[in-house]
Homo-oligomer: A and B are copies of this chain.
Amino acid sequence: MRDTYHDALDSVTDELVAMSRLVASMMERASAALLEADREKAEAVIEADEEIDSINQEVELSTTELIALQQPVATDLRIVVSSMRISTTLERMGDLAQHIAKTARMRYPDHAVPPELEPVFREMASIADRMGGQMGEVLASKDVDLARRIEADDDRMDDLHRSVLDHLLAQDPGPVNQAVDVTLLNRYYERYADHAVSVARRVIYLVIGERAAT
């Protein structure tokens, strides 16, 4: 009985790790689609979002079943409840990757990001990739130090987010559709990073047993 129980708990964790890897790969491809105006990559990301939504529903079903059949308590129950919350967060991160891909597709064959902002979006993309990768590792390993490093990356993302806004306001405005795109893209990267931090904090909370300041 205990084995079935821990197998079930492990398999929820495995689902989350797989989900987070898919989300990270979606984001990587969404950034490539955006920065290289690659329509095929954009389409692939847009399709992958359905898979994320269905994994999210599976996690809800499997955690509900686990609760009903195994009646976990204490720490195990906290793990199950946190897994549901993390799954919702990962699903939103997938949505954000999809929004970026849709913007790339909408502007194809043009580039949604103007050349002068490409370097900063490239850096945001690279930070998002690192955070996404670390998030998967943190979910698999429960490494609290690594979880904390995700926050440092988020500080850099916030700086870049601010610099894009400053750029928008300080320069001669280009076409309005570009300003609209850049405003939303900027927000998508910033939100993605915030969600990665919230996943990391949940893991810290589970491991050290107290809520990290949110």
Using a CB–CB cutoff of 8 Å, the interface residues on chain A facing chain B are: 53, 57, 60, 63-64, 67-68, 71, 73-74, 77-78, 81, 84-85, 88, 165, 168-169, 173, 176-177, 179-180, 183-184, 187, 211, 214
Cβ of A199 to closest chain B Cβ, rounded Å? 13
Rounded to whole angstroms, the CA-CA distance of A214 and B57 in the bound complex is 11
B177:A180 contact, CB within 8 angstroms: no
7 contacts between A and B (CB under 8 A): A60-B85, A168-B180, A169-B177, A173-B176, A173-B179, A179-B183, A184-B187
Cβ of A7 to closest chain B Cβ, rounded Å? 20
Cβ of A77 to closest chain B Cβ, rounded Å? 6
Query: Which residues of B sit under 8 angstroms from A165, Cβ to Cβ?
Result: 180
A77:B64 contact, CB within 8 angstroms: yes
In the complex, residue of chain B having the shortest beta-carbon distance to the beta carbon of A87? B85
Query: Which residues of B sit under 8 angstroms from A211, Cβ to Cβ?
Result: 57
Neighbour of A84 across the interface among B57, B84, B177, CB < 8 A = B84
